[in-house]
């Protein structure tokens, strides 16, 4: 593989992760799926620690998809309890470590107790400048794009925007995480090779990396493998390899 330009960022600015494989982790131990979700919560902490240590600016974690609401009621209920407990347990410590927490997705589908804790976590940590941690919960990429399209339609209807002003930048400014650089690196654990309705718009030029490792088995070695692979890749953004080699900095080419 040809060496990427010396000026290319070696460390991703933004990592987005599908945390998958909790159910299979539990099944292998002949335990209920919920045991896998609980073990998965520990891996979340490990992953946040790793990003803080490596100076990664933004981490986005897919915790619960808009489609996951369709799982058996007892699993959804147990996940909600786990979510609530995690919010109660972890947020103050995240704040102490300078993490800015936010939630993306359709918040209105959660119980009032969870919504209140999400709001409180965002409020408490909003001034932090360390890791930008985004939790995608009740999130779907299609829903994200539809919501952005609706916001644009509202502005057109109100006379604040002309249809001809709607371009990629207008939509990009209204999807989730619009204030962050798009993910440089996508990681999915659990061995399945798909996006499962995660950040469809934002992943357009993201480097994809998949591992068979089940989410609860995550360790720093697996994350390091992903970073090493990322560092060895040449990102072309539609240009030629020669253009990339002569560019002064890869990230100045990023769309």
Active-site residues, by number, are 20, 68
Q: Collect all residues with Cβ–Cβ distance below 8 Å to 14 and sequence separation of at least 6.
A: 56, 57, 58, 59, 60, 180, 181, 182, 183, 184, 185
Q: Which is nearer to Mg ion, 62 or 201 (CB)?
A: 62
Beta bridge partners of 188: 18, 210
Contact partner at residue 68 from Mg ion, ligand IPE, none, CB < 5 to 8 Å by partner kind: ligand IPE
Helices 33-54 and 73-96 cross at an angle (nearest 10°) of 20
Out of 13, 14, 16, 18, the only residue in the binding site for ligand IPE (CB under 6 A) is: 18
Contact partner at residue 45 from ligand IPE, Mg ion, none, CB < 5 to 8 Å by partner kind: none
Report the distance separating Cα 71 and Cα 60, nearest Å: 23
Contact partner at residue 49 from Mg ion, ligand IPE, none, CB < 5 to 8 Å by partner kind: none
Q: How far is the CB of 117 from Mg ion (least distance, A)?
A: 25
| CA distances (Å), origin 117, targets 49, 73, 87, 92, 246 | 22, 22, 7, 12, 49
| CA distances (Å), origin 90, targets 87, 118, 147, 185 | 6, 12, 30, 25
Q: Which is nearer to Mg ion, 103 or 215 (CB)?
A: 215
Q: Which is nearer to ligand IPE, 64 or 186 (CB)?
A: 64
In eight-state DSSP terms, residue 242 is H
Q: How far is the CB of 82 from ligand IPE (least distance, A)?
A: 9
Q: Does 20 bind Mg ion (CB under 5 A)?
A: yes
Q: Does 22 bind ligand IPE (CB under 6 A)?
A: yes
Q: How far is the CB of 104 from Mg ion (least distance, A)?
A: 19
Q: Which is nearer to ligand IPE, 82 or 115 (CB)?
A: 82
| Closest residue to Mg ion: CB criterion | 20
Q: How far is the CB of 33 from ligand IPE (least distance, A)?
A: 6
Q: How far is the CB of 234 from ligand IPE (least distance, A)?
A: 29
In eight-state DSSP terms, residue 12 is -
| CA distances (Å), origin 165, targets 26, 152, 159 | 50, 10, 12
Out of 14, 51, 64, 223, the only residue in the binding site for ligand IPE (CB under 6 A) is: 64
Q: Are 21 and 214 in contact (CB under 8 A)?
A: yes
Contact partner at residue 22 from ligand IPE, Mg ion, none, CB < 5 to 8 Å by partner kind: ligand IPE
Count Cβ neighbours within 10 Å for each residue of 110-119 and write b for 16 or more, e otherwise: beeebeebbe
Give the range of 16-24, 29-37, 218-226, 231-239 binding Mg ion by CB under 5 A.
16-24
Q: Which is nearer to Mg ion, 135 or 244 (CB)?
A: 135
Q: Are 233 and 206 in contact (CB under 8 A)?
A: no
Where do contacts with ligand IPE occur on this chain (CB under 6 A)? 18-24, 62-65, 68, 79, 190, 192, 194, 196
């Amino acid at each position: 593989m040809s060496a990427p330009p010396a000026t290319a960022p070696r460390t991703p600015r933004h990592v987005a992760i599908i945390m998958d494989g909790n159910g299979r982790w539990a099944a292998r131990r002949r335990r209920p799926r919920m045991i896998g979700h609980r073990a998965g919560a520990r891996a979340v902490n490990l992953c946040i620690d790793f990003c803080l240590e490596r100076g990664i600016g933004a981490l986005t974690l897919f915790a619960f998809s808009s489609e996951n609401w369709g799982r058996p009621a007892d699993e959804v209920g147990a996940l909600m309890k786990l979510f609530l407990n995690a919010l109660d347990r972890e947020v103050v410590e995240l704040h102490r470590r300078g993490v800015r927490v936010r939630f993306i997705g359709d918040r209105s589908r959660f119980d009032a107790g969870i919504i209140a804790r999400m709001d409180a976590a965002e409020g408490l940590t909003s001034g932090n400048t360390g890791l930008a941690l985004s939790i995608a919960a009740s999130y779907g990429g299609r829903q994200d794009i539809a919501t952005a399209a609706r916001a644009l339609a509202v502005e057109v209807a109100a006379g604040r925007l002309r249809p001809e002003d709607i371009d990629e930048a207008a939509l990009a400014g209204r999807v989730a995480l619009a204030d962050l650089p798009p993910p440089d690196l996508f990681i999915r654990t659990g061995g399945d090779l798909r996006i499962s309705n995660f950040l469809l718009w934002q992943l357009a030029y993201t480097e994809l990396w998949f591992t068979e490792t089940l989410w609860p088995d995550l360790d720093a070695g697996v994350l390091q493998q992903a970073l090493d692979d990322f560092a060895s890749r040449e990102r072309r953004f539609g240009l030629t390899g020669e253009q990339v080699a002569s560019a002064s900095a890869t990230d100045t080419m990023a769309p």
